[in-house]
Structure 1
């Protein structure tokens, strides 16, 4: 692990982002690495081949993406030491493919992801994004177990 210069932290807004960023911050300080906080937004309908919608829908989606990016930047600012080089990036596309492509573009040396704890049956029937990343990534992945919040 001596060559860590770029750490990618892939998040969704439902995870315990602070916990993931805490691991990233500690590694970034140790290796003087840069942290890339990444969130994948749902693809714009134009992106996936649909006909362009009315302008007001396109404007609404654009504003939604701006809000998500501002939220991502706020997370970075709230949880990461200002002394650590970091960027918050919002990308669009299919989650697994987009994260893997971005990791390659950014020359990431390590990816940090959260893994949700589910029942055995749930895990048997559905393959999580984290698992797909683990199977397909060309760089080491640090998978952090995330406690599910009770919905009661």
Structure 2
């Protein structure tokens, strides 16, 4: 194993997921890729649909571009803090923009990843049905092994 991708939402139990990914990377002498995806804002943008009323493809508005840039900056700051605490081999950080499952799987392919480490929130059945579970969608799309770390959400 040469490359392990760790997809992080940078919320809740991030440390648990990072620790397991570091353990795997150290065990196999692999490079660790810390990846966070900033998702688009808005229903049409997030699902890449065309507005049926306007018949036009969606576009990002200037204030949305500022919001996206702010989210990227915050993500980079959080990844900085995580990286400083790591005592692992090579660490590569990436903040991407798009649909989480698509970006993680595409990045894993481009990086020649041997494994993806992701967390899964233990939502209720209704919440999972409505939101879809990003980790489940990645499981369906990825062509490499995936280590899913269950996390418990605190209410």
TM-score after normalising by structure 1: 0.81
Take 1:109 and 1:5, find their aligned partners in 2: how far apart are those partners?
7
Instruction: Find out whether 1:147 has 2:144 as its counterpart.
Output: no
How many Å apart are 1:127 and its aligned residue?
A: 2.4
Take 1:97 and 1:28, find their aligned partners in 2: how far apart are those partners?
23
Matches within 5 A, 1:126-137: 126-137=131-142
Unmatched tracts of structure 1, length 5 or more: none
Take 2:60 and 2:12, find their aligned partners in 1: how far apart are those partners?
33
The correspondence for 1:33, drawn from 12, 30, 34, is 30
CA gap 1:124/1:91 in 2 versus in 1, 3 angstroms:
closer
Task: Write out the 4+ residue segments of structure 1 that deviate beyond 6 Å after TM superposition.
Answer: none
Q: Deviations over 1:24-63 (max 9, x none)?
A: 11111111101000000123899x7416526xx6456434
**2:10 is paired with a residue of what secondary structure?**
coil
User: Is the Cα contact below 8 Å between 1:6 and 1:33 reproduced in 2?
Assistant: yes
Instruction: Find out whether 1:70 has 2:77 as its counterpart.
Output: yes
User: Is the Cα contact below 8 Å between 1:44 and 1:92 reproduced in 2?
Assistant: no
User: Is the Cα contact below 8 Å between 1:10 and 1:99 reproduced in 2?
Assistant: yes
CA gap 1:60/1:21 in 2 versus in 1, 3 angstroms:
closer
Unmatched tracts of structure 2, length 5 or more: 49-57
TM-score after normalising by structure 2: 0.80
Matches within 5 A, 1:1-152: 4-43=1-40, 49-50=58-59, 52-53=61-62, 58-59=65-66, 61-78=68-85, 80-81=86-87, 83-150=88-155
Take 1:34 and 1:27, find their aligned partners in 2: how far apart are those partners?
10
